[in-house]
Amino acid sequence: MPEDKAHDSGFKVVDRRPFSVDGTRREDAQNETEKPEARAKAPDPSRVVDRQPEEYVEPEGSGFETLVSYLSTTAMFQLGVLPGPSGERIPPDMANARRTIDLLEALQEKTRGNLTPAEKRFLEDVLYELRLSYVEVEKRGTRKRR
């Protein structure tokens, strides 16, 4: 509890704002800026090293392929092709599956000309498989309704 003085965590809060609640300049704020310790902590401009940016290496588990895989897996769940987390059958949600496939198609359109050949092929393969699965699930659904 904040009121409990018996337990001292060693944590101290110091208000270093230069203005009080009513907008007047606090006297102790001027003293804070004049302390030599504050100036000593600032980096010495003569010692700053100008670093060249390193080439960006994409961390594993992120990037374009991961995004496409995530959306593809989502669509497969929505189509009812993949089992749920505990192995149960998930009923197809055709409307949301269509939206997810449309989203991948929009991604394909917006990234046209900006993908590596491997990324382009991967996206094309994923869309082909999803479209094929969509048609198969839809056919199964119409056969059951008859």
How far is it, in rounded angstroms, from Cα 74 to Cα 78? 6
* 65, 119 contact by CB (below 8 A): yes
pLDDT, tens digit, 9 for 90 and up, residues 29-48: 555 555 555 545 555 555 55
DSSP result, 34-75: T-HHHHHTSPPGGG---PPPPPP-PPTT-SHHHHHHHHHHHH
The answer to the question of residue 23 being in a domain is: no
The DSSP symbol for 16 reads: -
Structure tokens at 121: 């092929």
Is pLDDT of 4 > 80?
no
Choose the weakest-confidence range: 51-55, 69-73, 79-83. Answer: 51-55
Confidence of residue 3 (pLDDT cuts 50, 70, 90): low
Nearest-angstrom CA–CA distance, 25 and 7: 34
Q: Is residue 137 part of a domain?
A: yes
Asked whether residue 83 is assigned to any structural domain, the reply reads yes
Is 108 within a domain?
A: yes
Position 81 scores a pLDDT of 92
Structural domain of 115: 64-145
Residue type, 59: P
Task: Please give the tally of structural domains in the chain.
Answer: 1
Residue 89 lies in a domain: yes
pLDDT for 46? 58
- Who wins on pLDDT, 45 or 19? 19
Tell the residue number behind the tokens 């092929």, with chain if given: 121
Rounded to two decimals, what is the model's pTM?
Answer: 0.56
- Give a yes or no: residue 141 inside a domain: yes
